[in-house]
Amino acid sequence: MLKIVKNSIVIATASLIFAGNAQADVSEALQNICTIVKADDKGELRKKMKRVQSDYRLKLKDYYTGVSCGGNSLIRTAMLNNAVETGTLMVKKMPKRDLKAPEKDGKTVLAWASENGLDSSAIVVALNNRI
C-alpha cells in the first residue's frame, strides 16, 4: 500500500512539472503571432496554427482569448492593421458562438468594430457572413 502512495505522488509531481513546461512551450510557439497578423501573412499564420495544433493539440479557439496584441484580440488587431487575409482566416477558423461572444472588455467584435468606425472593413463583412 505504501508503494502505491509513493508511486502516485511521484507520478503526480512529474505530470505537474511537464504540464508547466508545456504551457511555457505554447507561449513560445505563439510569441510572434501578433506580428504575423499585423503583417497580414496568411501563409505564415496558417503554418503557425497548424504547428500549434500538431505539437500541442490546440486549435485557434483554445488560445484565442489568451493572446493579446497591445490589449486587442487577434481579430481586432487584424482590423486595426487592415490585415484582411489573416483576419478573414481567423473568422473562418473560429466557432460561430465564440465570434458572437463578448471579449474581455464585454463587447463583441462587431460592436467594437462599429464603435471604432470599422464597419466597412472586409473582415466585418466576413464576420457578418459567418454569423
pLDDT in tens, 44-93: 889 888 988 888 888 888 888 888 888 888 888 888 888 889 989 888 98
What is the per-residue pLDDT for 3?
58
HSE at residue 91, side-chain half, CA atoms within 13 A, is 25
Q: Structurally, what CATH architecture does the domain formed by 32-130 represent?
A: Alpha Horseshoe (1.25)
Question: What pLDDT sits at residue 6?
Answer: 54
With a cut of 50, say whether residue 128 has pLDDT above it.
yes
* Helix (H), strand (E) counts: the chain: 9, 0
Sequence ranges of the domains in the chain: 1-30, 32-130
Residue 21 has pLDDT above 50, yes or no: no
Nine cell digits for residue 109: 467584435
Looking at residue 24, its pLDDT comes to 52
Is the full-model pTM beyond 0.75? no
pLDDT at 11: 57
Residue 19 has a pLDDT of: 46
> Phi and psi dihedrals of 72, rounded to 5?
-110, 155
User: What's the N-to-C CA distance of the chain in angstroms?
Assistant: 56
Q: What is the pLDDT of residues 89-126, one digit of tens each?
A: 888 988 888 888 888 888 888 888 888 888 888 888 88
How many CB atoms lie under 10 A from the CB of residue 16?
10
Helix, strand, coil percent values for the chain (each to nearest 5):
70, 0, 30
